[in-house]
Amino acid sequence: MLKKFCMVLSALFILPTFALADITYSGSSTIGTGILNAGAADAFANKTGKKLSSIEIPGSGKGVKALIEGKVMVAGASRPLKPEEKKERLSSTTIGYDAVTVFVHKNNPIKNLSKEQLKGIFTGKIKNWKEVGGKNAPIVPNTEILDGKRATIEMFQEHVLDGAPHAKFKQIDLPRDQIIEVAKDENGICSVSLGLYATLPGDIKGKVKPISVNNTAPDDKNVRSGAYLISRPLNLITKGVAKGEVKEFISFMLSSEGQAIVGKNFVPVRKVK
């Protein structure tokens, strides 16, 4: 009787650990919205019976910080790790590639902007479309929250603005909403993940268009090769080498099934047949 009681008692303590083993994610909204919530989380759960119990998208910087502090099991970063982050012995696995893409309204005649023109627009020095070959109308940029430690803002500032600060324009919390804002304004412009554009409804996509930068289009070939100026990796980050459920999830994302999901909105690491 005592032996049976101990077995039952042990089972009571073991059961909650299955819930605790569920994977928790925080970080890049590009990865969270465009990959995890776009089919990867459900596909992994269906295949393994294990799930991502929480998917938070506060941005890459905040996600990596939460990982370092032990608040989540895996972080997403749509950029390389920074030197100070590498000191925390983090492990990074690239599951795909993305382009920070410049969007304008479909009625805007502009099809290409140079890096210098974009720098002028987003630092506030160029204020009218006629200055870059467009119509005589004010340029209406929008950005993500500038102090949100978001990878898109940081990558754009580094590669396009040469480290110069953004001018203060309308700030929008969710990147997808930036594109929606441009769809409402023929003079609008924003820089957002190309993969997030792919997740928008057709009526919104029909009102905006991605443009080339330095005469290079943000297509799969140019993003994978790095020819497009603002190409970036999509990384899953762990503390040390991934183990257990997290290792299984990362392996799934690198499998043919996982890469096919990445390839719906982004450029996969491995070519999917």
Tokens representing 241 are 């080498």
pLDDT for residue 273:
66
DSSP string across 109-175: ---EE-HHHHHHHHTTS--BGGGGTS-SSB-EEEEE-TTS--HHHHHHHHHTSTTPPPP--EEESSH
Residue 26 in this model has a pLDDT that exceeds 90? yes
DSSP annotation of 99 reads E
Mean pLDDT, all residues of the chain: 91
CA distance 120 to 84: 30
pTM of the predicted model as reported, rounded to 2 decimal places:
0.82
Angle at Cα 102 formed by Cα 257 and Cα 217, nearest 5°? 65
**Crossing angle for the helix pair 244-254 and 256-265, nearest 10 degrees?**
70
Residue 5 in this model has a pLDDT that exceeds 60? no
pLDDT for residue 149:
77
**Crossing angle for the helix pair 41-48 and 244-254, nearest 10 degrees?**
110
Confidence of residue 21 (pLDDT cuts 50, 70, 90): low
pLDDT for residue 148:
77
pLDDT (tens digit, 9 = 90+) per residue, 141-188? 999 999 877 889 999 999 999 999 999 999 999 999 999 999 999 999
pLDDT for residue 15:
34
Mean pLDDT lowest for which of 6-15, 129-138, 234-243?
A: 6-15
pLDDT for residue 270:
86
Confidence of residue 14 (pLDDT cuts 50, 70, 90): very low
Tokens representing 9 are 């008692």
pLDDT (tens digit, 9 = 90+) per residue, 58-117? 999 999 999 999 999 999 999 999 999 999 999 999 999 999 999 999 999 999 999 999
Highest mean pLDDT: which range of 4-18, 142-156, 201-215: 201-215
pLDDT for residue 271:
77
pLDDT for residue 171:
97
| Residue in 223, 148, 133 with CA at minimum distance from that of residue 178 | 148
> What are the structural domains of the chain?
21-97+234-268 (3.40.190.10), 98-225 (3.40.190.10)
The burial class, CB within 10 Å (0-12 / 13-18 / 19+), for 248 is: middle
